[in-house]
A and B are shown apart, each in its own frame.
Chain A
Amino acid sequence: ARPGSVLHPPGPVLHPPGPVLHPPGQALLCTPPTRPGPALYSTHQARPCSVLHPPGQALLCTPPTRPDLVLHLYSTHQARPCTPPALPSQDIRNTVGNIPMEWYQDYPHIGYNLDGKKIFKPIRNKDELDEFLDKMENPDYWRTVHDKTTASDIRLSDEQVDLVHRLQKGQFGDVNFNEYEPSVDFFTNEVMIHPVTNRPQDKRSFIPSLIEKEKVSKLVHAIKMGWIKPRKPKETTPQYYDLWAKEDPNAILGRHKMHVPAPKMRLPGHEESYNPPPEYLLTEEERMAWEQQDAEDRKLPFLPQKHSCLRAVPAFSRFIHERFERCLDLYLCPRQRKMRVNVNPEDLIPKLPKPKDLQPFPTTMSLVYIGHSSLVRSISASPTGQWLVSGSDDCTVRFWEVNTGRCMKTLEVGGAVKSVAWNPNPAVCLVAVCFESTVLLLNPGLGDRLVVSSTDQLITSYEPPEEDKEQAVTWALSEGPEHDNGHRLTLTHPKAVKQVVWHGKGDYLASVMPDNSSNLQVLIHQVSKRRTQNPFRKNKGLVQCVSFHPLRPYFFVATQRYVRVYNLIKQELTKKLMTNCKWISSMAIHPGGDNLICGSYDCRLAWFDLDLSTKPYKMLRHHKKALRGVAYHKHYPLFASGADDGSVIICHGMVYNDLLQNPLIVPVKVLKGHQITHDLGVLDVTFHPTQPWVFSSGADATIRLFT
């Protein structure tokens, strides 16, 4: 009913633990400053000050800026309801309450007074210098306190200073308070002679209980019979004994066979030492790299450190972590038995016959034929081995003498030469050259004059048949200056020609016009009769290259992924070889006719044994880049492959007459020499017809002879 109890609702509950309420100094501030008198007065009645003050800090924490409050409190200690003191005429108390005063930092005022008017900050703030001067000059500086809420300095009166001193000493605020008043003993400890009530005692209080007797006798009986035993003293320390006293090796359970023991912790290396050799310490860069790596990627889980003495070694901060991780590994990590391969790498290398024993094969580069100005697409050697013809993208065909490297003849043709082929018949001196949609038969006029003239005769002796058949190709005889240059026959094809190839006898000639949409891709020409025929009625895919069987009437057609073998006489497909390549680039037939190699743009070379299977007998991945040309030697057991990586690899490929013995394939030499231009290296390879020499033409506009 007192106003105070309403204001701070359960007044006594709020205050009792004085030190709790007071330290922040809120208790007093929370009471609206408008009515401090009654509130404080009432609380102090409920509980003497001795509870409020004890620690003596309480009042110091309350902002000393409230002199009126303190004064008021002081007056309450007189323990009489005093009238609220007359307030100063101009009451500048701030009404903003207990808020951080920084909130008013940016305003000119600092709060509101009782009338709701702004309280303005003093115009000039004191800076450090002022403060210092004040400290030096003002004799009352020590008793001046700054009131943040009103931003004014207040000088404490003598009484207030006195109060502060007393509180600091832990004394009561009130001077007149007697803390040793005599106590009044309400409940005495002396025993009275008379009972408080006059009720007579119960009978049961002096007669033994039967029920209890029964219970006790039961317990006694149970103890006698040994049913109840005293509690065993608890074992605090575990008891150890010889667990393996009766060790039985047969007791090993079947489970233990499946047991995969956990690997032991790795033993520390030099880098873990507290004082490692200097080379194990990380340099600045390595350290940075280490710090930037993820914890899982790090090679070392810690930074090697060097300490000058044992005394300086600190505790390892991740010690518990590491132990914990080990625990996790032990019970959470799935285990698996892994067989570690322990082989000597030398044993993995296959034992091959020594290349020395497989001689002869080309080993060194001996000649370079220089003359072309653009990449040399195709080369071909004359059957005698004395001459070499080459066709290049600079629209020329050049004839070289093999032994000297001398360019005998240069012929300009009307386009980039795709393919050249020397007639394999030694009695005829003819060269087939293809460019754009034309196949040109040239008589270079090199070598034996008799052969040259007989070749010319052969061409001129042609008599056109009576009934002229419609042909896919027009045959034209060259005359005039062209004839002097060596042109003999011109075959104009309907489409661009990519490859020409002679039959072994030298009368037939096949030309390839790759085209995905028609059946007119391969044509076979007969030179003596100037006849052309299209052997295929159907288009079976883009033809890459074709070849004649050296002995039998077979015809090989390589499309993008397969090689088809046709019987020309029976006019049927005899075999279809799966190359397992993505895109065939070139193909060559063994002079024996039973084996075949295919080069592909996906760096592989497939060797087929036609008698064995339609799948490759061996797949060689020797080159790093796309293969461009492959070739067999006529007599020696050699084959060569040229690729875009600029190398020619010579392999020994021995084919045995015994059908049961598989071909022996041994790489014997890697020949390097061509420079890679426009990502192209070697474009064509061909063997010398008689010697173990190989020619290669490259994108660097040269032809090289390796002997």
Chain B
Amino acid sequence: MGGLQKKKYERGSATNYITRNKARKKLQLSLADFRRLCILKGIYPHEPKHKKKVNKGSTAPRTFYLFKDIRFLLHEPIVRKFREYKVFVRKLRKAYGKAEWTGVERLRDNKPGYKLDHIIKERYPTFIDALRDIDDALSMCFLFSTFARTGKCHVQTITLCRRLTVEWMNYVVTSRSLRKVFLSIKGIYYQAEVLGQLITWLVPYQFAHDHPTDVDYRVMATFTEMYTTLFGFINFRLYQTLNLVYPPKLDSKAESELKAEHEEDYAMDSESYLEKLSALSASLARVVATAEEEENQLDLFPTEGEDQENMQAREKEQKEQEAQKRLFEGLKFFLNREVPRESLAFILRCFGAEVSWDKSLCIGGTYEVTDETITHQIVDRPDMDKQYINRYYIQPQWVFDSVNAQMRLPVEDYFLGTTLPPHLSPFVEEKDGDYVPPEKLKLMALQRGEKPVQEDDEEEEEEDDEEEEEEDEEEDDVDDEELTEEKNLKKMEGTRAQGKTLAVKVTPGKVKPWETGSVGNKVRLEQEEKAEEKRLAIMMMKKKEKYLYDKIMFGKKRTTREVNKLTAKRKAHEDASKAQKKQKKAKKQ
């Protein structure tokens, strides 16, 4: 009958995707350029739903791009710039070969470059979109800013990254938006809440990098190129929202204060200025001189019922946040030279403290060690020779833990030379069923306002034991709640097995205490019945649902297993440490 025969793979999903090589040919780009373009434009491969259909019947592993994405790349102006650059390189090589030095110079002067502004605008049509995606940019820029200025990438990139990160830190300090910090073995994690978005970034510890050989720095540099552009625009906008001058300027007052001392150490003014900015010790200049803090009160609307509750909850949260912002207000810190200055200064300033350091450590210290008004000195060495009596000598972890706990923790545990309590991650939010370390429980109690139980060693050891047992019991309870089902099932199976053996050998029956019809017995029977019902119902499940159910239950079991393992480990550790303590005590006597 009529009509052409339909051919396979000429419509539908097969035409919506395009393989990488075909895309590259369509764009007439080399693989390296194609990759660069993908990175800059944020084009990534898609996993089709039916791979075989898309792959025209073949099952060979291929990466697929959306055809629309590639067609969209065809009109990209920087593709032309890439080609121009290719031509430029060719011309330059030729000029070099002919030793035409004026020609080389001329070519160099007219080196084609490109801007990424339009790409940023297109990838992130609104500011919030951009802000949401800034995590990776931050981490990358912080990493690049710590590189040595040799070889691995352009010095300009490194300085630019440094400048942008310093601007970012200054913004966070000024807006006081830091929320959480975490000292990990990889580096320091920070989390800030900027315009309602939670932004997390990771900063490596201040060490020289051991550059690996199996990392392609060109890829990283391309990413950084994009990230710096994005980051710069975001910084500009953020500074604008706070009425700050961009690029940041120090307060005139602060500037005059800092002026006198170290000017001659720096070759260039710009360098010293960046250093001063990065010292984070002074406030920034504003476009319009306003009061330091604007109290933004929530407007009250007449509300009812649930809305009212929500409103109250929001109000409370706001208050808490305000309180957290002023966590260290009124405290005066001094950083010893062995502590990481930048991160501590950043954190302390974010929460309203005054910070200073030794003059030889960095530019920007505002007062000396000898200042009598210093309340806390942050020290990371086993002992100090000369100590002032009117200040606390604490280890840096106190600052981090206090920020995470949103309260000033008791300083006793963090004194000079003491064994530090474990440092917990603030990013873990325990659901019920997850393992909660006892330290966290203690901290939560402290936050609720309960008095911490003092654990004085020897005299109260017995009491100690009791407490710990109690704690253990608590833990067990928590576990119990999750494990009830499991345990009950097991118990019932146990009893059933018992029944089985009993039934095989007919022995004179004994009246068991729980069989006499007590309340426990009834409850138990009921539970048993319920469990059996459930098991029978599970038998009647459909295959598909059964599979899903088994998977979920397997996951649950795994988590409980992990929790049990952690609890057991903790218990073993505590037992061991207790035994050690006892031994010591015995030795003393």
B523 within 8 A of partner (CB): no
- The CA-CA distance from A335 to B63 in the complex, in Å, is 10
Residue of A nearest to B439 (CB): A277
- The CA-CA distance from A278 to B575 in the complex, in Å, is 12
- The CA-CA distance from A675 to B504 in the complex, in Å, is 10
- The CA-CA distance from A383 to B211 in the complex, in Å, is 90
Q: A231-B109, A279-B569, A335-B46 are in contact. Are A349 and B125 (CB under 8 A)?
A: no
- The CA-CA distance from A668 to B219 in the complex, in Å, is 64
Chain A 216-255 interface residues, beta-carbon cutoff 8 Å to B: 231, 236-238, 240-244, 247-249, 251-253, 255
- The CA-CA distance from A351 to B538 in the complex, in Å, is 10
Contact of A265 among B120, B135, B235, B380 (CB under 8 A): B135
- The CA-CA distance from A8 to B428 in the complex, in Å, is 77
B423 within 8 A of partner (CB): yes
Q: A269-B425, A279-B437, A334-B63 are in contact. Are A352 and B536 (CB under 8 A)?
A: yes
Q: Are A327 and B220 in contact (CB under 8 A)?
A: yes
A273 within 8 A of partner (CB): yes
A665: which B residues are within 8 A, CB to CB?
540
Q: Are A321 and B536 in contact (CB under 8 A)?
A: no
A338 CB to closest chain B CB (Å) equals 9
Chain A 617-645 interface residues, beta-carbon cutoff 8 Å to B: 620-622
Q: What 1/0 mask marks residues of chain A from 302 to 337 whose CB sits below 8 Å from any chain B CB?
A: 101101111101111101111110111011111110
A666 within 8 A of partner (CB): yes
Contact of A249 among B49, B126, B228, B540 (CB under 8 A): B126
A663 CB to closest chain B CB (Å) equals 13
A35 CB to closest chain B CB (Å) equals 46
Contact of A274 among B72, B130, B184 (CB under 8 A): B184
- The CA-CA distance from A669 to B535 in the complex, in Å, is 10
A261 within 8 A of partner (CB): yes
A365: which B residues are within 8 A, CB to CB?
503
Q: Are B552 and A343 in contact (CB under 8 A)?
A: yes
Q: Are A324 and B219 in contact (CB under 8 A)?
A: yes
- The CA-CA distance from A341 to B547 in the complex, in Å, is 13
A136: which B residues are within 8 A, CB to CB?
none
B156 CB to closest chain A CB (Å) equals 7
Residue of B nearest to A280 (CB): B566
A537 within 8 A of partner (CB): no
Q: Are B46 and A670 in contact (CB under 8 A)?
A: no
A194 within 8 A of partner (CB): no
- The CA-CA distance from A665 to B182 in the complex, in Å, is 57
A490 CB to closest chain B CB (Å) equals 38
Q: Are A243 and B540 in contact (CB under 8 A)?
A: no
Count chain A CB atoms within 10 A of each CB in B127, B184, B236, B566 and give the residue with the most: B184
A100 within 8 A of partner (CB): no
B68: which A residues are within 8 A, CB to CB?
255, 258
- The CA-CA distance from A328 to B233 in the complex, in Å, is 24
- The CA-CA distance from A323 to B438 in the complex, in Å, is 33
B419 within 8 A of partner (CB): yes
B99 within 8 A of partner (CB): no
Q: Are A268 and B427 in contact (CB under 8 A)?
A: yes
- The CA-CA distance from A319 to B184 in the complex, in Å, is 12
A350 within 8 A of partner (CB): yes
B140 CB to closest chain A CB (Å) equals 6
- The CA-CA distance from A673 to B499 in the complex, in Å, is 9
- The CA-CA distance from A335 to B45 in the complex, in Å, is 6
Residue of B nearest to A236 (CB): B156
- The CA-CA distance from A264 to B229 in the complex, in Å, is 20
Q: Are B200 and A244 in contact (CB under 8 A)?
A: no
B121 within 8 A of partner (CB): yes
Chain A 547-595 interface residues, beta-carbon cutoff 8 Å to B: none
Q: Are B160 and A238 in contact (CB under 8 A)?
A: yes
- The CA-CA distance from A315 to B68 in the complex, in Å, is 44
Chain B 359-384 interface residues, beta-carbon cutoff 8 Å to A: 380-381
Q: Are B548 and A320 in contact (CB under 8 A)?
A: no
Q: Is the interface of A mostly helix, strand, loop or mixed?
A: loop
Q: Are A320 and B232 in contact (CB under 8 A)?
A: no
Q: Are A248 and B125 in contact (CB under 8 A)?
A: yes
Q: Are A322 and B186 in contact (CB under 8 A)?
A: yes
Chain A 253-283 interface residues, beta-carbon cutoff 8 Å to B: 253, 255-256, 258, 260-262, 264-265, 267-270, 272-280, 283
A667 within 8 A of partner (CB): yes
Chain A 69-98 interface residues, beta-carbon cutoff 8 Å to B: none
Contact of A244 among B63, B126, B189 (CB under 8 A): B126
Q: A316-B205, A321-B212, A328-B219 are in contact. Are A349 and B534 (CB under 8 A)?
A: yes
B38 within 8 A of partner (CB): yes
Q: Are B549 and A302 in contact (CB under 8 A)?
A: no
Q: Are B212 and A272 in contact (CB under 8 A)?
A: no
A673: which B residues are within 8 A, CB to CB?
500, 503-504
Contact of B182 among A253, A268, A666 (CB under 8 A): A268
B539: which A residues are within 8 A, CB to CB?
620, 622, 649, 667
Residue of B nearest to A235 (CB): B113
B130: which A residues are within 8 A, CB to CB?
244
A274: which B residues are within 8 A, CB to CB?
183-185, 423
- The CA-CA distance from A240 to B204 in the complex, in Å, is 27
Chain B 326-379 interface residues, beta-carbon cutoff 8 Å to A: 338-340
Q: Are B549 and A345 in contact (CB under 8 A)?
A: yes
- The CA-CA distance from A244 to B123 in the complex, in Å, is 12
B500: which A residues are within 8 A, CB to CB?
672-673
A311: which B residues are within 8 A, CB to CB?
338-339, 380-381
B313 within 8 A of partner (CB): no
B581 within 8 A of partner (CB): no
- The CA-CA distance from A317 to B240 in the complex, in Å, is 38
B9 within 8 A of partner (CB): no
- The CA-CA distance from A355 to B140 in the complex, in Å, is 62
A368 within 8 A of partner (CB): yes
A354 within 8 A of partner (CB): yes
A356 within 8 A of partner (CB): yes
B279 within 8 A of partner (CB): no
Q: Are B246 and A240 in contact (CB under 8 A)?
A: yes
A313 CB to closest chain B CB (Å) equals 6
The 7 closest A-B pairs by CB, nearest first: A315-B207, A336-B47, A267-B427, A334-B47, A279-B569, A334-B45, A279-B570
Query: Known contacts A260-B46, A269-B425; can you find 20 more A-B pairs with CB under 8 A?
Result: A240-B246, A244-B130, A249-B126, A253-B125, A262-B44, A268-B186, A273-B422, A274-B184, A277-B424, A279-B569, A279-B570, A310-B397, A320-B215, A326-B136, A334-B47, A345-B552, A349-B541, A620-B539, A670-B532, A675-B504
Enumerate 19 A-B pairs (CB-CB under 8 Å) in ascending A order: A231-B109, A244-B127, A255-B68, A268-B186, A270-B424, A270-B428, A276-B422, A279-B567, A314-B205, A324-B215, A324-B216, A328-B219, A334-B64, A348-B548, A365-B503, A622-B539, A667-B539, A667-B540, A668-B536
